[in-house]
């Protein structure tokens, strides 16, 4: 199996672009790209208070709430209630987005990509139990969202991730796991 472990313990808190919260980057492509130069990126974001989300020109997002009771988002002029964990929700990252927390802080898995030429990621949250097969691709990222998971020979704790590159692997886990595919 060809997978690269991305442990949660190695991630630092980085202030949001607008200063309203913190994010912990899991992976960015191309590697080392800053917030203005990424093709796609995956992170975990802490939302601790009501307020605006950062705006990213030409970027789309998929947000998946993984902790907390929820948020009432206003994306442009449209309300979007996010009150169920592990349900991916897509929205434009360059529309003004406001957030009202429904019952305290939340943690979101955030997938962002540049809509000018970058492939659109697909985010699935699975409950693998005794095992599901994960096929490789140009970029396949697995993130343990609750409990632990095993991908091939790698053990993942909560919020650990693995980038699968070359061959299929069996995913097992005691809780929800995000499988993010970027590319064909």
pLDDT at 168 over 90: no
26 vs 139, residue with greater confidence: 26
The mean pLDDT value for 69-79 works out to 95
CB 119 within 8 A of CB 184: yes
Task: Give this prediction's pTM.
Answer: 0.92
Q: Which CATH number fits domain 12-114: 2.60.320.10, 2.60.120.10, 2.40.40.20, 2.30.110.10?
A: 2.60.120.10
| Strands 161-164 vs 139-144: parallel, antiparallel or unpaired | antiparallel
The mean pLDDT value for 111-129 works out to 89
pLDDT digits (tens, 9 = 90+) for 85-110: 999 999 999 999 999 999 999 999 99
Q: What ranges do the domains of the chain cover? A: 12-114, 122-182
The residue assigned the tokens 């902790």 is 67
Reported in sequence order, the residue ranges of 68-164 that DSSP labels E, i.e. its strands, are 71-75, 78-82, 89-92, 97-101, 106-114, 122-126, 132-134, 139-144, 149-151, 154-156, 161-164
Phi, psi torsion values for 92, nearest 5 degrees: -65, 135
The mean pLDDT value for 26-44 works out to 90
pLDDT at 133 over 70: yes
pLDDT digits (tens, 9 = 90+) for 15-31: 877 777 789 999 999 88
d(CA 158, CA 103): 23
């Amino acid at each position: 199996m060809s997978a690269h472990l991305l442990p949660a313990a190695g991630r630092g808190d980085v202030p949001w672009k607008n200063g309203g919260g913190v994010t912990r980057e899991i992976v960015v492509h191309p590697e080392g790209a800053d917030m203005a130069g990424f093709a796609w990126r995956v992170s975990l974001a802490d939302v601790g208070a009501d307020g605006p989300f950062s705006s990213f020109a030409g970027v789309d997002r998929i947000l998946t709430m993984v902790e907390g009771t929820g948020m009432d988002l206003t994306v442009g002029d449209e309300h979007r209630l996010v009150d169920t964990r592990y349900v991916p929700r897509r929205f434009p990252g360059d529309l003004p987005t406001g957030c009202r927390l429904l019952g305290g802080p939340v943690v979101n898995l955030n997938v962002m990509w540049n809509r000018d030429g970058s492939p659109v990621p697909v985010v699935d949250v699975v409950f693998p139990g005794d095992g599901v097969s994960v096929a490789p691709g140009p970029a396949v990222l697995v993130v343990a969202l609750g409990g632990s998971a095993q991908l091939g020979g790698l053990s993942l704790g909560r919020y650990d991730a693995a980038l699968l590159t070359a061959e299929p692997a069996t995913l097992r886990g005691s809780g929800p796991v995000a499988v993010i595919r970027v590319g064909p």
